[in-house]
Amino acid sequence: MSDKINIYMPPEMSRILATKARGLRLQHRMKQSTLSEKSGVPAISIRRFESTGNISLSSLLKIAGVLNCLDAFLGLFPPFEAGTMAELEKLEGKKPRVRGTL
């Protein structure tokens, strides 16, 4: 696990994502209506997203697909990499092995 401190709260992160999505849409020289047609997301949902940051995950993924950045979502939940056998056993819920003593 990362020791990185999260400095963003979910509402702030939503606004940042909305701003980035809008910027990417504009870079593609695309109107909201065009993005709506290509993604299947209602234009009113796109307007709400760009102004408030609120959108369903399904709609966000559709928009990301049209804007060619869907692959970025694959990095959201990286797998846990155990450094030791004890960490791996803890992850699997197994009790660590105990060796007998004489």
Query: Contact 67/29 with Cβ under 8 angstroms?
Result: no
Read off the pTM: 0.73
What total number of domains does the chain contain? 1
**Does 94 fall in a domain?**
no
**Alpha-carbon gap, residue 14 to 12, rounded angstroms:** 5
Q: Which of 5-9, 48-52, 86-90 is the most confident on average? A: 48-52
**Does 27 fall in a domain?**
yes
Q: Which residues contact 69 (CB under 8 A, 6 or more apart)?
A: 24
What pLDDT digit, counting tens, does each position of 60-69 carry?
999 999 999 9
What pLDDT digit, counting tens, does each position of 43-83 carry?
999 999 999 999 999 999 999 999 999 999 999 888 777 67
**Does 81 fall in a domain?**
no
* pLDDT reported for residue 48: 98
- pLDDT tier for residue 95 given thresholds of 50, 70 and 90: low
Report the CATH number that the domain containing residue 44 is assigned in CATH. Answer: 1.10.260.40
**Does 48 fall in a domain?**
yes
